[in-house]
Amino acid sequence: MTDLVACLSTGKGTWLEVSKLMKAEEWNKIYLIAPKFSMERFTHDKKFEFVEINPDAEVDDIKNKIIEQLKGRLGIDTAINLTSGSGKEHMAVISAAIALGSGIRLVTLKNNKMAEV
């Protein structure tokens, strides 16, 4: 079964897409890459875990923080959603998933269903 890794950071209206995407499939595990601000405000019916990052850090530092928190936890099939967040966060997420040996698929929401990009 597929794990979902999604950025949950900045971008007007992006939290709604992440929330709907979480409901759109039966995920093995859901990991939300988020700064403290998002962690303090986001809730959801589905079970998920936060991976805390500092969006002001350098890309390598963000990547290493993600690897540290997800090491040994991602499956071989990982769906990644980058609707929310900055390009720096997006690069760190993709690089961390690859470094952790996970096969990745970029996903979005289309007609309230998960769709690969």
pLDDT, tens digit (0-9, with 9 covering 90-100), for 52-85: 999 999 999 999 999 999 999 999 999 999 999 9
**What's the pLDDT score for residue 11?**
86
Phi-psi region of 13 (alpha: psi -120 to 50; beta: other; left: phi over 0): left
- Evaluate if pTM is beyond 0.85: yes
Q: Does the pLDDT value for residue 46 go beyond 90?
A: yes
Range of the domain at 61: 3-116
Joined together, the tokens standing for residue 27 give 């995920």
Cα–Cα distance between 80 and 29 in angstroms, integer?
A: 12
> What is the domain count for the chain?
1
Q: Which pLDDT score, from 0 to 100, does residue 13 have?
A: 85
CATH number at 31 reads 3.40.50.10770
